[in-house]
Amino acid sequence: MAENKTTPTKVSAAKYIDALEDPQQKKDCKQLAKMMRAATGERPVMWGPSIVGFGTYHYKYASGREGDIMIVGFAPRKNQISLYLTCDIQQMAPILAKLGKHKTGKGCLYIKRLADVDQEVLKQMIELGIEEVEQKHSVK
């Protein structure tokens, strides 16, 4: 079975965020890090070269594939910030309607900047994602 590509590293998440070139994205990522740390009680850890993650849980799929991954996290990208809430994003449709300007993927939420969204709604989504993970998986 293939190894997971996204694994924790020893790189400093704070240094990674501080090195971001876009000043607005750097400011937003610092705020997201505070928000996710408050919600999880965990320190940020770099997962791979560009994902800032918080907490860890073990998953196992029906296929037999299993591994460890962050509970919540984010990754600054060129034109947006990807948020990994490890929950079924589509089940959050009523909350997403209140969030503000965003896009969704299969399991990700994409925002351009924090000012585009209601941060209280985002905090609620982060907390709901954490609750879902805690109910379904073994949280470390």
Amino acid letter at 80? Q
Q: What is the DSSP string of the chain?
A: -PPPS--B-SS-HHHHHHT-S-HHHHHHHHHHHHHHHHHH---EEEETTTEEEE--EEEE-TTS-EEEE-SEEEEE-SS-EEEE--S-GGGGHHHHHHHBS-EE-SSEEEES-GGGB-HHHHHHHHHHHHHHHHHHSEE-
Q: What is the pTM of this model?
A: 0.90
Whether the per-residue pLDDT at 55 is higher than 60: the answer is yes
pLDDT of residue 2: 57
Whether the per-residue pLDDT at 130 is higher than 80: the answer is yes
Confidence of residue 109 (pLDDT cuts 50, 70, 90): very high
Tell me the domains of the chain and their CATH numbers.
Answer: 13-139 (3.90.1150.200)
Whether the per-residue pLDDT at 34 is higher than 90: the answer is yes
* Average pLDDT rounded to a whole number, residues 56-79: 88
pLDDT of residue 64: 81
pLDDT of residue 105: 84
Confidence of residue 137 (pLDDT cuts 50, 70, 90): confident
